[in-house]
């Protein structure tokens, strides 16, 4: 259980980090907090030839709120975002989900963008990004592009990031008036990956529910004017469309049942928030 | 740009328990192995080696973190603290360590170093923790001997004694 032989680049400018990614492509991996990447190296699930450490780049270590978006740079640790005093007021879904990300001891090192980059289908932050319809900013030395969350996550631990691109920041829409937000997770133990997690955004006339831990990526569905009478039917249909699979943690049927129950609970909580 | 080649060892400079350290590591070396094998401080234990059990928890720049989820080369310039630094002097235990002893909060002791390093940082920030918060915080540590009850009792007792000590100061 030791990492494979690899070079390590301590980038001191963003251009250096971009240059390594441009030159080495898929053989290079960005390391930030390392809370997912280091165990993957130890288990030899990842075998990059070179690691690029971006944690000395001050321009990636910032978070700010502009134009109704909370922009979190690639160097911002999960614990830093959680400690932001305005977080619960500016985006309650993020404030509710972050304590479920790993443990306090891993949040102290792990970054927000790192979790997005890894794209585990049961991880909390990708789910929140999809639920809120946030986006990911990718950069190379020559260009920058922004990809919507729904397009960024493409499947099991696979994303729209190209080999020469660095995730510079992720952007979570801040809370808006007239919107209710809620997050809910079921796992065997606190700190484990979710078996099912749900995140809801509601207004008086619309309902959006995103589900993690079931499909190969977090997926969302929108309904207009969903009443209590047809909520169960809508959730049942969504639960089947997610094409749950059974594994050592839970059967497909159990996961569908969790989607129905937790979906109802999460939507209910978001609606109470509206009231 | 500093590119550290896989083929050889490179000097890593950092502060460990208040002392400046300069030691050599290959880029792939885990911080756990660096501390135990290169530096020779074996108080930091290696359990699962993938971040789940918490036995290797140390403090990096004052915050509890897993040494096994960190490469040695990543801590260049950082300030590290390990369990060896907790006792105020040889033969004397810290308030937290003494509380663990009084409450029988350890049996085999394998998880203890990590739990102590987590709690030491936690009690610095949370002078008067609630039991529920402590339990959630300690969910990042596995103990297979105690059932956690004496660990919680020791942590609450240590928090009380630390408050009293702060009140006297």
| DSSP summary character for residue B103 | T
Tell me the per-residue pLDDT of B26-65, one tens digit each, with 9 for 90 and over: 999 999 999 999 999 999 999 999 999 999 999 999 999 9
Largest CA distance in chain B: 55
Q: Do residues B64 and B123 share a domain?
A: no
The answer, yes or no, to whether residue A144 has pLDDT greater than 90, is yes
Q: Do residues B144 and B125 share a domain?
A: yes
Tell me the per-residue pLDDT of B84-117, one tens digit each, with 9 for 90 and over: 999 999 999 999 999 999 999 999 999 999 999 9
CATH number, domain of B37, equals 3.10.20.30
Residue of A2, A7, A8 to mutate when probing chain B, most B C-beta within 10 A: A8
B168 lies within 8 A of chain A by CB = no
Rounded (5°) CA angle A81-A85-A87: 55
Contact A5 B71 (CB under 8 A): no
Q: Answer whether residue B68 is part of any domain.
A: yes
Looking at the predicted complex, does its ipTM rise above 0.90? Answer: yes
Which chain B residue is nearest to residue A52, measuring alpha carbons?
B3
Confidence tier at A142 by pLDDT (50, 70, 90): very high
Q: Answer whether residue B3 is part of any domain.
A: no
Q: Domain of B76?
A: 10-85
Contact A34 B71 (CB under 8 A): yes
Number of folded domains in chain B? 2
CATH number, domain of B134, equals 1.10.150.120
The full DSSP string for A66-132 is ETTEEEEETT-BHHHHHT-TTHHHH-HHHHHHGGGSS-HHHHTT-BHHHHHHHT-TT-HHHHHHHHT
Contact A108 B60 (CB under 8 A): yes
Tell me the per-residue pLDDT of A185-239, one tens digit each, with 9 for 90 and over: 999 877 778 999 999 999 999 999 999 999 999 999 999 988 888 999 999 999 9
How many angstroms separate the first and last alpha carbons of chain B? 48
Which residues in chain B have their CB less than 8 angstroms from residue A3's CB?
28, 30, 71
CA distance A79 to chain B (A): 10
Contact B74 A105 (CB under 8 A): no
Listed residues B56, B85, B114: the one ending a domain: B85
Q: Do residues B100 and B57 share a domain?
A: no
Q: How far apart are CA A1 and CA A41, in angstroms?
A: 8
All domains of chain A in start order, with CATH: 7-53 (3.30.43.10), 65-173 (3.30.465.10), 180-274 (3.30.390.50)
Q: Do residues B108 and B161 share a domain?
A: yes
Contact A109 B118 (CB under 8 A): no
């Amino acid at each position: 259980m030791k990492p494979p032989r690899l070079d390590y680049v301590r980038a001191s400018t963003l251009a250096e980090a971009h240059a390594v990614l441009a030159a080495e492509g898929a053989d290079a991996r960005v390391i930030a907090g390392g809370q997912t990447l280091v165990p993957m190296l130890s288990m030899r699930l990842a075998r990059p030839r070179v690691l690029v450490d971006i944690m000395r780049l001050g321009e990636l270590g910032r978070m700010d709120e502009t134009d109704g978006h909370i922009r979190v740079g690639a160097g911002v640790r999960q614990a830093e975002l959680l400690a932001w005093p305005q977080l619960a007021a500016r985006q309650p879904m993020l404030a509710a989900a972050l304590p479920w990300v790993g443990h306090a001891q891993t949040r102290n090192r792990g970054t927000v963008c790192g979790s997005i980059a890894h794209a585990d289908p049961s991880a909390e932050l990708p789910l929140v990004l999809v639920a809120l319809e946030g986006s990911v900013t990718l950069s190379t030395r020559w260009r920058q592009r922004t990809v919507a969350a729904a397009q960024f996550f493409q499947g099991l631990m696979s994303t729209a990031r190209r080999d020469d691109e660095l995730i510079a920041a992720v952007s979570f829409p801040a809370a808006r008036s007239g919107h209710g937000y809620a997050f809910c997770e079921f796992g065997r133990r606190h700190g484990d990956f979710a078996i099912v997690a749900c995140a809801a955004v509601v207004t008086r006339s619309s309902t959006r529910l995103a589900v993690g831990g079931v499909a190969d990526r977090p997926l969302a569905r929108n309904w207009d004017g969903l009443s209590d009478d047809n909520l169960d039917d809508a959730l049942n249909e969504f639960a089947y469309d997610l094409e749950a699979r059974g594994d050592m943690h839970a059967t497909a049927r159990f996961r569908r049942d969790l989607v129905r129950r937790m979906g109802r609970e999460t939507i209910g909580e978001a609606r109470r928030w509206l009231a | 740009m500093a590119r550290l080649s896989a083929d050889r060892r490179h000097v890593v400079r950092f502060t460990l328990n208040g002392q400046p350290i300069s030691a050599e590591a290959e880029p792939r070396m885990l911080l756990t192995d660096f501390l135990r094998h290169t530096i020779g401080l074996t108080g930091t234990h290696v359990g699962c080696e993938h971040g789940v059990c918490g036995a290797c928890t140390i403090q990096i720049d004052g915050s509890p973190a897993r040494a096994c989820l960190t490469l040695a080369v990543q801590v260049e310039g950082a300030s590290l603290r390990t369990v060896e630094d907790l006792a105020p002097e040889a033969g004397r235990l810290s308030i937290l360590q003494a509380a663990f002893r009084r409450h029988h909060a350890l049996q085999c002791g394998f998880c203890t170093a990590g739990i102590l390093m987590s709690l030491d940082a936690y009690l610095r920030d949370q002078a008067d923790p609630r039991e529920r918060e402590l339990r959630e915080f300690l969910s990042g540590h596995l103990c297979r001997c105690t059932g956690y009850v004496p660990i919680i009792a020791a942590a609450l007792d240590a928090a009380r004694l630390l408050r009293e000590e702060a009140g006297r100061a």
